[in-house]
Chain A
Amino acid sequence: MKKSLLFMLVFLVLVTLGPRSWARVQGPCVDCHTMHNSQNGATVVANGPFRALTKGDCVGCHTGTNTGSNNIPYVMSDSEPNYGSFGISGNTLAGGNFYWVATSGGNDPTKGHNVVYLASEDTNIGTTPPGWDNSNFGGNGLVAGGEASWSKQLTCAGKYGCHGTHTDEDDFRSISGAHHSDDSNLDGSTVGKSFRFLYGIIGIEDSDWEYQPTSTEHNQYYAVDRIDSFIDNPANADAKSINYLCAECHGHFHSGVGDTDGADDENSTIGSPWIRHPSDFDMNNVKTKEYGNYPGPFGTQYTYWPGAPVGTDDLTAGVRNQVLQSDGDAIVLCISCHRAHGSPNADLLRWDYAECNASSGNAGNCGCYACHTTKY
């Protein structure tokens, strides 16, 4: 009896303290739903009712100010969020915030993804993503149905979106049921069992969506080393990796055959083979170079720095607070540099690239130097 009690106590402590995922919705139903959009004879939410009896659409529910204890992750704010220098010390989350791209906020198309509900069509780019590859990267379903040029603006989820499946154009339908799915095992088999409802993608979800993350409390992204796996062939890329998600829309920046496609020039016999900044590249391959000093000026060598995160090909080891310890634990990601939703910086970068000055002797607020540790 005593042994059973002790076991239960230990189990409860582990569950409470561990970095377990909390993406499965918790809390009072009333926080998100209204049965009839009617209370005391008045509507509960304007412009309602909404499908799934929710109190709003994607944006409506996910607009607010993060405090670290909120049950709903807020990716949009009515007022400018506190981003800090790298988005890890204020009140924005891992994906960043749409405030700066939103029409009601900064209204700057360079500072976020122009999701249709928040912002008008990107005045610089239009609707078709830069680097769009409409034939490859369909492992989780081809985005935009493989249109040569996108006929519609980006949405949160669905055929033209990032979250959910890419078969339904409707955001709600594409993520239907996901919020209440059992997400204890993220294997990518369903939207609910996918990392952040990014269909097919796997990873370990930080419980507070990286509100003020640390080296021990952060998302753990899944990625693969291109050297070991696909090199230049998109068909061999791992559709479960976070980089693959980005490549679904920006495939030409990722991999491809030829001297001008993808990230590397496979015919290069000299110097750097890179023609675009690599992702899916394990820095263990170049550990003897400056990259072995990650995170450079931003922490003790080998310590995971959420300001410029790296991925791993082995999620069984859990959340890493040390990297460059073994092959596959320090893989460069698209989101090593970018915030998917948006940031205060051009190209939705995690930091202000204009502040990156080579050989200045001061790393300043340039996250590039987390990997390029000898360049400042």
Chain B
Amino acid sequence: MGKLAISISVLIFLTTVGIAWARVSGPCSNCHTMHNSQNGQPIDENGPRVYLLDPVSSFRDACVACHSNEGTETIVVQGSTRIPIVLNLQEPTYPSDGSSSGTLAGGNFYWLYANAGVGGENQSVYGHNVLAIDGVPPDENLTQAPGKPDVASGPSCAGCHDRIDRCESCHAPAHHAPDTGPVVGQEGGWYRFLNSSFHGSENTGVIGIEDSDWEQTVSASDHNEYMGANNAYGNDDNSMSNYCAGCHYKFHGIPNVGEDNHSPWFRHPAHLPLPDNPDKEYYYYNNPGGSGPGQYNPLAPIARDPDQLLSMTEPSPIVTPGSDQVMCISCHRPHGTPYPDMLRWNYLEGCVAGQGTPSECGCYVCHTTKGE
């Protein structure tokens, strides 16, 4: 009876908290084919593919083929294996409403792929132009990553730093790594496999807590947790923001944000904590007009202080100024969104000073006195 109670408790725990399930489970044949041959016929007309993969769709690139879906479902269930979808060919729900079509945390390439974003902008503004996606053109506006570090100038760098040739430009796949967490780092293949496939090191990989359904269902207590930075200079430190700095380095660091790292900012800061100062509006994160910080808002997420994150056992709804940091993906979704610059909200039409709420303009989650 005692064991039964423990088992039930464990089940409840696992289903209620966002503990990681990213390590692939289920029959090997759900994802792999040994020879791309069955009954004398190829299993996959576009195969055989790397990693011996047998994808769920017909895109030529194996990563894209596995993580895309012709419909709107953003998690595809293949047998007992759950596959997060980052490219839907029909428009997913944005932001996620918790339904099966809810856009996942990293966003979705749909708006880039279908050129269907808000505002009639050109196609490339709605996501990262991953050229491995059949039909995605080179970026119409960019010839290199904006803010590219000078050291990434050799010909062998171009596939990631001047353009994005493949998914592995940002991810180093490790689907079978033991990422039971709760904090996922090197042993678990890094948070969401975020490490350089070409020059990854123990410092470049990202550390974090992986939400079990990739934030399809999401709330103040049900979400990813991101590693904050331990330096303001864009140097590798396992943080989410400084991983972005790998390609957008010049958007970080002293020469670009002001010598003493405070206002007036030359560029919007990342990797710095919300001021622990009740006189500042940022202190009232997600609680405009309130008497203290509000709860974690997954529309404009914050990163945790590195020391704090490493000791966390589950996602937390609590936000602590002076510790929790603004990061690049507080505002952006790396795969794409319906909005230009792959922003999390409609900055061009939804953010008008003196008007609107944080749910309409995510800027107001931190800039709590700027909305209505």
Which residues in A have some Cβ–Cβ distance to B below 8 Å? 122, 124-126, 128, 130-131, 253, 260, 265, 268, 270-277, 337, 353-354, 356-360, 366, 368, 374-375
Contacts and interface: CB of A to CB of B under 8 A. Distances in A.
Contacts, number: 81
Contacts of B34: 276-277, 337
B71 interface: no
B28 A358 contact: yes
B197 to A, nearest CB: 5
A368 B35 contact: no
B29 A276 contact: no
Contacts of A268: 50
A275 B28 contact: no
Interface stretch (B19-27, B211-219, B279-287, B342-350): B19-27
Given A270-B197, A271-B168, A354-B27, A125 B40 contact: yes
A276 B48 contact: yes
B41 to A, nearest CB: 8
B173 A271 contact: yes
Contact of B48 (A125, A260, A354): A260
Interface residues of B, number: 28
A44 B283 CA distance: 100
Contacts of B29: 353-354, 356
A130 B35 CA distance: 10
Nearest to A277: B34
B166 interface: yes
A67 B33 CA distance: 36
A114 to B, nearest CB: 12
Interface in B5-30: 23-29
7 A-B pairs with least C-beta separation = A124-B39, A359-B25, A125-B40, A275-B48, A277-B34, A356-B28, A130-B37
B176 interface: yes
A268 B165 CA distance: 13
Contacts of B25: 357-360
Contacts of A353: 28-29
Contacts of A276: 34-36, 48, 52
A130 B41 CA distance: 8
B148 interface: no
Contacts of A375: 28, 176
A337 B28 CA distance: 14
Contact of B28 (A130, A253, A368): A368
A126 B41 CA distance: 11
Contacts of A366: 28
Contacts of B26: 357-359
Contact of A130 (B40, B47, B51): B40
B253 to A, nearest CB: 29
A270 B51 CA distance: 11
A270 B81 CA distance: 25
Contacts of B50: 265, 268, 271-275
Interface in B34-77: 34-37, 39-40, 47-52
Contacts of B47: 260, 275
Contacts of B27: 354, 356-358
B234 to A, nearest CB: 24
A358 B176 CA distance: 8
A270 B198 contact: yes
Contacts of B173: 271
A268 B50 CA distance: 8
Interface in B158-200: 166, 168, 173, 176, 178, 197-198
15 contacts: A122-B40, A126-B40, A128-B40, A130-B35, A131-B35, A265-B50, A272-B51, A275-B36, A275-B48, A275-B49, A276-B34, A276-B36, A356-B28, A358-B28, A358-B176
A358 B39 contact: no
Interface in B263-299: none
Given A260-B48, A272-B51, A274-B50, A374 B35 contact: no
A176 to B, nearest CB: 33
Contacts of A359: 23-26, 176
A226 B166 CA distance: 28
Given A131-B37, A272-B52, A275-B36, 20 more contacts: A122-B40, A124-B40, A128-B40, A130-B40, A265-B50, A271-B168, A275-B47, A275-B52, A276-B35, A276-B36, A353-B28, A354-B27, A354-B29, A358-B23, A359-B25, A359-B26, A359-B176, A360-B25, A374-B176, A375-B176
